[in-house]
Structure 1
């Protein structure tokens, strides 16, 4: 299962800013963010005409596992790891019987380092505002799979790619700001050995005294290389942060968008270095499309995890 979708319930369902003193406080339907409808069966009733206690356990297992399969990409038959329920119990408030269609709600109470505490509420129907029964499931072990690790790998690759893009400046500096360049334009450089050395034109970054001595063609070439690198630096956080956030909810799409961005960024840099600002068009349009995709998914993830405007209202007030 992806890290994103295991962690997301915490932000969707944890109640912030309010102290909950007793289990009965969780009877309110508004606490639960994930629901499924379950049709009761004739055989669910006991001799007293009420749903047997054992059936509640089946309902609890059903909603928890359905959530993990649908929202967390859990594959029970293929997963190399297994989760264990180490503690659970049920508190009853009102009877339920066939032929009712019950509504089961799921709440994430706490996420630990290797466990999750669930709260399940059983509602008589879709209109019920108070739970007929509730079952805390403590310390359910959740094992994370490798999906989100590829998003992290992409973030590392972007950082490395950014560094490599900057390293291409070294060859240009060495070619343009050679020892011969210093001897021709700054014959006194030996007298200024402490501050001026034939070391590639440092600290000139394209607009200083050294760059002014370059020919027009060399000046444009040098600054095209520089802008390709600086643009990457300027946009680094703009891609890494939304990539990490959107990957929590949309791992596959975020991974693809990240790949598109990396390839487009290389096209952008190559075009800029060869042809100047006109050569960046194809790469710019492509990487901007990838960025818009990541930004949109990241914004939706933040808004969705925060429970929308109602969550913002609870945070502020």
Structure 2
């Protein structure tokens, strides 16, 4: 498997000076700080000249002067939605992950689902909810034609921030109020009961899936980052089903303009059908994270994984594995 990643042979000096963007001021700041710290340690352990740069600091842009590339470990709005990507493009600084379009569409759950539906990719039914701050009571009326159960979520947050499952009418108002703390546009998505899966994308290939099981109502923020009773299975499926799911993940990833690395999340219903939930263009890189878990299953430890991701910044083609760095 490791022979598929010639990036591992790159001399650390070739990367030059690397800024690891982390922190920021989104709802996912704490997770980003953890991801960025792990990435920074992994880069430095391999002799790569890297330093941390918290974008919540007022003068952070001044420190971009003289750097050669960026490892983007920002999560959520402001770092994962195309804004930072646009800035770095204008400064002609190479960076990890998807570009402006893929980042923006990946963060925008509503438009992402619209594209998937147009391409006949399987995603649960949904309804957009627009908040009227002057008349909050209209929110529940907007959902009169959407049968319960549903998942209420902000249309542009990650890490399950602001998400709630709604199984009865009593749970609806608290779920809407929680999601409305983050944005004026919400998404009510048909609730799929079943197994939760994710497929990591790295250099144009799908890695083995991870199947997550949690005693919580769903794979929420607590289950992702805090709990110790979440169980993981990787690979999560038999070989034939892995290939099927990997193909859907790659098609969904490319459909919204994503590139480099990322993660595609699914639900599997009781009939065995897979349903696309969302794309994560900068997945977590913490001790509980899923991309490192999938990479480890094919022989890539965490430092190796980080180096492979960063290596995509050395070429305009995110699928850098097509370049041979020699034996």
State the TM-score bracket (shorter-chain normalisation): under 0.3
Q: Where is the strand percentage greater, Structure 1 or Structure 2?
A: 2
Of the two structures, which has the highest relative contact order with CA contacts closer than 8 Å and spacing of 6 or more? 2
TM-score by length of 2: 0.20
Q: Where is the helix percentage greater, Structure 1 or Structure 2?
A: 1
